[in-house]
Amino acid sequence: DAGITQSPRHKVTETGTPVTLRCHQTENHRYMYWYRQDPGHGLRLIHYSYGVKDTDKGEVSDGYSVSRSKTEDFLLTLESATSSQTSVYFCAISAGAGISGYTFGSGTRLTVV
Amino acid sequence: TQLLEQSPQFLSIQEGENLTVYCNSSSVFSSLQWYRQEPGEGPVLLVTVVTGGEVKKLKRLTFQFGDARKDSSLHITAAQPGDTGLYLCAGKTGANNLFFGTGTRLTVIP
Reported as a single tens digit per residue, the pLDDT across B29-77 is: 989 999 999 999 999 999 999 999 999 999 999 999 999 999 999 999 9
The reported pLDDT for the residue numbered A95 is 86
B contact residues 55-74, partner A, Cβ 8 Å cutoff: none
What's the pLDDT score for residue A42? 87
pLDDT number for residue A106: 96
Residues of chain B with pLDDT > 70: what percent?
95
- The DSSP string of B49-84 is E-STT-EEEETTEEEEE-TTSSEEEEEESS--GGG-
Taking an 8 Å cut-off on Cβ atoms, the answer to whether A58 and B97 are in contact is yes
Asked if B42 and A106 come within 8 Å (Cβ–Cβ), the reply is: yes
Residue B1 has pLDDT above 60, yes or no: no
Burial class (CB within 10 angstroms; exposed 0-12, middle 13-18, buried 19+) of A15? exposed
Q: Tell me, what's the pLDDT at A52?
A: 94
User: DSSP 3-state assignment of B1?
Assistant: coil
Residue A28 has pLDDT above 70, yes or no: yes
Contact B96/A at CB under 8 A: yes
pLDDT digit string, tens, across residues A29-61: 999 999 999 988 889 999 999 999 999 999 999
Give B7→chain A minimum CA distance, Å: 13
Record: contact B41-A106, CB cut-off 8 A: yes
Residue A97 reports pLDDT greater than 70: no
Question: Please, what's the b/e burial string for A81-94 (b: 16 or more CB within 10 A of its CB; e: otherwise)?
Answer: beeebbbbbbbbbb
> Can you name the residues that pair with B45 across neighbouring β-strands?
B35
Percentage of chain A modeled with pLDDT above 70: 96
